[in-house]
Chains A and B, each alone.
Chain A
Amino acid sequence: MTLIYRLIILLLVTVFIKMLYSEKNIQNQINISLVLIPLVMRLLMIK
């Protein structure tokens, strides 16, 4: 079950990173990177 959970997070992280590189609004780019920090830490099961 934890594996499926982490796969979902991995999917989200991939989508957000793609968005970070395609987004044209700086404010949105900053928001995306803020969202990515806890997501990546959960993906790595750190926090």
Chain B
Amino acid sequence: MGKHRIIAIILTGVMTLVIIFTGREFKDMHADIPIFPSDDLAEVKMLSDYFEGLKNTPGDTQVYVFEGEEEGGSVLILGGTHPNEPSSNLTSILFVENLKVDKGRVFVITESNKSAFTHNDPQEGSPHGYYIETASGQRFFKYGSRATNPIHQWPDPDVYVHASSGQQLSGSETRNLNRAYPGREDGTLTEKVAYGITSLINKEQIDLTIDLHEASPEYPVINAMVAHETSADIASFAILEMQFQSIEIALEMSPKNLHGLSHRELGDFTETYPLLMETANPAQGRLRGATSAELIVEGIDPIYEKAGNAGFLFVKFDENGHPLNERVARHTTGIIEIVKAFNCLNSGKEIIIGGIPGYDDMLQQGIGAYLR
């Protein structure tokens, strides 16, 4: 046997080992992480219960349903629209694991774009996930991609044409759930997921829909609540209450000519009051250093600190950064205040919830204290 043949055999062996080890890691991203719902959970539905077309697809996702003793209004919390925005997914998990409902109904989706949780954005060097210390030990949470996995939806067109408006966007946005609303029955997987969520809102007559997001600290719409015209009153009330608690948050109105977003289309196509919230995630930004699990959890980055001191960012950024505890606490408080504002404006249709920790408690104890 020639020398080059032996080298070829050795290389084949090494290659196979690399494929087995890394392949297993990639495959693990497709498995669900365990979630431990609170005792008040009524049932776990699937999005395909509302839209058959999602059955046996990678877009089908769990819908956690909580029902109070008394009839009232209903709220849908959307976590994980963009799986590279971890405070969104984690806040929704925190609700599933702690929520108590006395009146009305609460629906929570923790992985709105489930397919996007199965991979990372290329060339970003993101870890597959991060760990949080809880009473029951260290728990793993996924850090995914902004968009649907191309394994599940391909090829991307050069130009993405939003179905109901004809708006043109860059081709990669075709896999972005928050550009796909209200969705399409016979569309791409991403459009089907959006259609599933729109169907859920219609079938369950959801009064209030809260979509949780994060953005990089240099993005102008940050520490903000974005409201459709119909939800402007609710948002204004909630923001005032948050500002009284010294939480800086701004109101942004949903642009009428920007299509496919939850805060636009769900307001235009359904009866729900849609709202979207953004917190600051340095792990997502262009100025960040090494992208590690620590950066995701601690939210501390020296370059962002410099940029913050120089006044280049849209949020304050000091040596304490923006830890996940703070970002989840903001979203949590935001949801509580939105629900309270809805209750003020819709007497008789109140949604009375409890069991969710307050802002200061979460900062002091850390989110791990409230996960099972």
Contacts and interface: CB of A to CB of B under 8 A. Distances in A.
A46 B22 CA distance: 10
A22 to B, nearest CB: 8
B151 interface: yes
Measured as residues with beta carbon below 8 angstroms from the partner, the interface class of chain B is: 10 to 19
Contact of B23 (A2, A5, A30, A47): A47
B26 A47 contact: yes
B4 interface: yes
Contacts of A26: 4, 7
B15 A29 contact: no
A5 B154 CA distance: 10
Contact of A46 (B15, B18, B27): B27
A11 interface: no
CB-CB nearest 5 A-B residue pairs: A33-B11, A46-B23, A21-B8, A33-B15, A47-B26
Contacts of A24: 4
Contact of A37 (B5, B8, B19, B151): B19
Contacts of B23: 41, 44, 46-47
A23 B22 CA distance: 26
Interface of B: 4-5, 7-8, 11-12, 14-15, 18-19, 22-23, 26-27, 119, 151, 154
A45 interface: yes
Contacts of B8: 20-21, 23, 29
A47 B119 contact: yes
A36 interface: yes
B26 to A, nearest CB: 5
30 contacts: A2-B154, A17-B12, A20-B11, A20-B12, A21-B5, A21-B8, A26-B4, A26-B7, A29-B7, A29-B8, A29-B11, A32-B11, A33-B11, A33-B12, A33-B14, A33-B15, A36-B15, A37-B18, A37-B19, A37-B22, A40-B15, A40-B19, A41-B19, A41-B23, A46-B23, A46-B26, A46-B27, A47-B22, A47-B119, A47-B151
